[in-house]
Chains A and B, each alone.
Chain A
Amino acid sequence: MLVGATAMSATAPVARADLSAPQPVSVQVVITPGDAGDAAAGTGAAAQTGPVNVNVQVVIDSPGAVTGPVTQTNSATGGMVAPTTPPTPPTPGTPVVQTPPTPPTPATPPTPPTPATFAASPAPRTVSAASTGGTAPVAPAPKQTSHAPRHRAPHRSAPAPAHVAAANTTAAPLITTASAIAPRPATTARTARPAAPRATRRAPARRPTGPPAHRLADFTQEGAAAGGGGTALFLALVLAFLLAGPAGPGEPVAALRQRARAAMGRRLEHPG
């Protein structure tokens, strides 16, 4: 075990003429407990357990101080070579081998027809870790092959990744909670709609993304999911403010309330 500590007191910088200023201190501690860097035990065997090299350099109040390079090595090498190699025997003459005749090359089988491919099927993007540099690989967006562009069914029916589904699951209860806070007066004509269609209509419309590549991307994607929940909460609060509660402060509020209820597909209510 070698434990060494060196404390060096250097001269004060030129710019600091104040004698009361603390003296610059540079401390370098080198600790090498356990076995030395190299160890060998037995014949042809090396065992090294728990070697530790520690180098701590602390520079305080020493502008321009420069410390040297640090090289730390722990190596265990086990090697065994057979006894001394006897002298090389005389090399026998190279035999002359007759090369057998080359068999005829079999006819190349006909190339099977290439199966038909969808023109819209995208080629999978290969994203390597080196090229992305810490960004999550983005899965290819699902293509609409036969539907019209405005048809959004494939997007709704496309299975969303786990993290996206979790984000949407988090957003839906927020809206429900907001409606529960401000219940509308019950009316006979206003029948409660089943929750399932509404949930279906609010199915994930966000473009699915690929699974996270590592924790950094995972962390980033979790942040994106939290932002979506905040937006939903804001919308829920606005709807709650417009659809329920006491009368708004004036006509504009009532007009907004009517528009909002019309947008929700319900019966118009006379103002006032």
Chain B
Amino acid sequence: MRKSILACVALTAALVLALSASAWADVAPAPGSQDIGQLATNQQSASSTATSTQTNPTNQAISVNILSPHAGTGDVTQSNTSAATSAAGNTNGTTQTAEQAGSGACCTGTQAIGQAASSSQEAGSQATSTQTNPTNQAISVNILSPGAGSGDVNQTNSSSATSSAGNTNGTTQTAAQAAGGCCGGVQGIGQEADNHQSAASLGTSVQTDPSNHAISVSILSPGAGSGDVNQSNSSSATSSAGNTNGTTQTAEQVAGGAPWVPCTACEPSPCATCHPASPTVQGIGQLAQNYQGAGSQATSTQTGASNVAGSFDLFGFKPREDHPLVPVMAGGDVSQSNSSSANSSAGNTNGTTQTAGQWAGGCCGAVQGIGQAAFNAQHAMSAATSTQWCPSNLAFGQLGALMQSNASAALSAAGNTNGTSQGAAQA
């Protein structure tokens, strides 16, 4: 079956090329013949690389209150961020339209249309983020300062790499032929659309020894306290690669008979006046080929992440109002988290629509042939790896609610989608 389709398409294409070769060679077409040849070639390549390296960034906020009752320190926000974002992509759109109309004579000539569109796209993207020894330190000391307080502490160390690569191609080919006359005539349409797409993406995030320290010390300071502490170390890598292609081929052929030239207009012997006095021949060949490859990889590595939150209260006992023997918590709520995540996705989408229609009238009969072939090859590969070594959360002292988490997550998805629609009608 496939061989027969290929043979049909090849024959039709050869016919179309033979008929249209004269036009490409600047040879004057024969009287009564119409030739159209369209060729579109696209080749695109895009590559992108982003690298972010951060080594030993340090934030230190130190607050000391001495002999300062009810002194207050504002919030402390500290962050070390290393981010790399890379994106590469190609977009192509090709539209080919050809129309041939009849002359209105009794005898039909030759009409030929050849359309070829080829697209090749390559996209590569790589993002790498490396963060080494980021440190946040917030230290609050209250001495002989009853009621002194410090605000919330937010500390963040983050390393993120985001990479994406993609290609988009759309090809639309439309050919229409209309020939009058009662007899004879040859109509040929050949359409070919090739698509090659390749996308590769790589995202890598490495975070080594991130640390957050929030220490509050109160000495001889009853009622002194510190606010909430939020500490987080995160490493994330996100990578995606994808290709999208859409091909639409439409061909229509109308020959002989009404409404252009009814047979009655060529009587009494319409077929005898035509050279050659042969039936109408109509041929349509449509070929669409799609090759797509997408690969994505995301890797996140977090090593030695640590969060430390502590609150010391020395000689500063302050009883609670409802429980005289229970001290008032000097520290607020503590939230600590270490996370490593890798997300990768790769996918291809293709849609092919082929439509062919032939209508032949006249008085000498007709020979009609339609060949449609659509080939699709798609490859998608995705990998995600998240590694977390020795994360630690440590909280001690008089603190409020405590939330600690260590999370390592890897998510990978790969998929292909293809839709092919072929429709042919002959009358």
Contacts and interface: CB of A to CB of B under 8 A. Distances in A.
Interface of A: 24, 44-83, 85-97, 129-130, 133-134, 214-216
A38 to B, nearest CB: 10
A57 B89 contact: no
Given A62-B71, A64-B68, A76-B52, 13 more contacts: A44-B51, A50-B56, A51-B57, A59-B65, A63-B68, A65-B68, A67-B74, A72-B77, A74-B80, A75-B83, A78-B50, A80-B87, A87-B93
B142 to A, nearest CB: 10
B55 interface: yes
A46 B79 contact: no
A45 B94 CA distance: 35
A134 B403 CA distance: 10
Interface band, chain B: 35 or more
Interface stretch (B99-107, B209-217, B266-274, B390-398): B390-398
A89 B170 contact: yes
Of residues A67, A79, A92, A215, which shows the largest number of chain B Cβ atoms within 10 Å of its Cβ?
A92
Most buried by B among A62, A78, A85: A78
A59 B68 contact: yes
B83 A216 contact: no
11 contacts: A45-B50, A47-B51, A56-B61, A70-B77, A71-B78, A74-B54, A78-B52, A80-B87, A93-B248, A214-B394, A216-B396
A44 B70 CA distance: 49
B381 interface: no
B296 to A, nearest CB: 16
B198 to A, nearest CB: 14
Nearest to A35: B57
Nearest to A69: B74
Given A62-B71, A89-B169, A92-B246, A129 B93 contact: no
Contacts of A216: 394, 396
Contact of A61 (B64, B66, B76, B420): B66
Nearest to B250: A93
Nearest to B417: A97
A45 to B, nearest CB: 4
Interface of B: 46-95, 123, 127, 129, 134, 136, 151, 168-172, 246-248, 351-353, 392-396, 402-406, 419-421
A49 B68 contact: no
B69 A80 contact: no
Nearest to A79: B85
Contacts of A71: 76-78
A49 B55 contact: yes
A9 B48 CA distance: 55
A49 to B, nearest CB: 5
A50 to B, nearest CB: 5
B85 A78 contact: yes
A85 to B, nearest CB: 6
A78 B402 contact: no
Contacts of B75: 69-70
A81 B91 contact: no
B157 to A, nearest CB: 10
A76 B54 contact: yes
Contacts of A52: 57-60
Contacts of A90: 93, 95, 170, 172
Contacts of A54: 58-62
B87 A50 contact: no
A63 B69 contact: yes
Given A44-B51, A64-B71, A82-B48, A129 B393 contact: yes
A214 B406 CA distance: 13
Nearest to A81: B87
A233 B171 CA distance: 90
Given A49-B56, A64-B71, A89 B82 contact: no
Nearest to B69: A63
A87 B81 CA distance: 34
B51 A46 contact: yes
| Most chain B CB atoms below 10 A, which of A52, A65, A83 | A65
A217 to B, nearest CB: 10
A133 B86 contact: no
B61 A70 contact: yes
A93 B173 CA distance: 12
The 5 closest A-B CB pairs, nearest first, are A89-B93, A92-B246, A69-B74, A89-B170, A74-B57
Given A52-B58, A215-B394, A83 B46 contact: yes
Given A55-B61, A67-B63, A130-B403, A60 B52 contact: no
Contact of B168 (A53, A60, A62, A89): A89
A133 B395 contact: yes
A74 B87 contact: no
Contacts of B54: 46-49, 51, 74, 76
Given A74-B57, A130-B403, A64 B69 contact: yes
Given A88-B93, A216-B394, A82 B88 contact: yes
Contacts of A55: 60-62
A83 B48 CA distance: 10
Given A55-B62, A129-B405, A92 B170 contact: yes
A54 B313 CA distance: 25
B306 to A, nearest CB: 10
B404 A133 contact: yes
Contacts of A63: 68-71
A72 B59 contact: yes
A77 B160 CA distance: 9
B421 A80 contact: no
B85 A97 contact: no
B352 A95 contact: yes
Contacts of A61: 66-68
A76 B127 CA distance: 13
Contact of A92 (B46, B57, B351, B395): B351
Contacts of A56: 60-64
Given A44-B50, A52-B58, A77 B394 contact: no
Contacts of B56: 49-51
Contact of B48 (A44, A88, A95): A44
